[in-house]
Amino acid sequence: PKGIAQCQACHQPNFQGGMPAPRLAGLSYEYLVGEMREFASDERANNLDMPKFMRALSERERNAIARYLSAL
């Protein structure tokens, strides 16, 4: 999905996480969508890069990323 390559820069190529970002692979779709929505709306601001990145994606694009990651 669009934007997934940017996720790999911090979350690692296989999305297993490590420094500087946590694992995304296999997390639930609902959790991932919720966290991305919170970053996009600035409800969650514990990371300087994520809000800007999430706002640049449409809701549909964020949902596609969440579906992809939850299936890993």
> What does the alpha-carbon distance between residue 41 and residue 35 come to, in Å, rounded to a whole number?
10
- The pTM (predicted TM-score) of the whole model is 0.92
Q: Using CA atoms, how far apart are residues 70 and 63, in angstroms rounded to an integer? A: 10
Has residue 13 got a pLDDT over 90? yes
Q: What confidence score (pLDDT) does residue 7 get?
A: 94
CA distance 16 to 48: 21
Q: Over 90: is that where the pLDDT of 45 sits?
A: no
pLDDT in tens, 51-68: 999 999 999 999 999 999
Q: Which domains does the chain have, with CATH numbers?
A: 4-70 (1.10.760.10)
The b-or-e profile of 44-71 (16+ CB within 10 A means b, else e) is beeeeebbebbeebeeebbbbbbebbbe
How many percent of the chain have pLDDT more than 90?
89
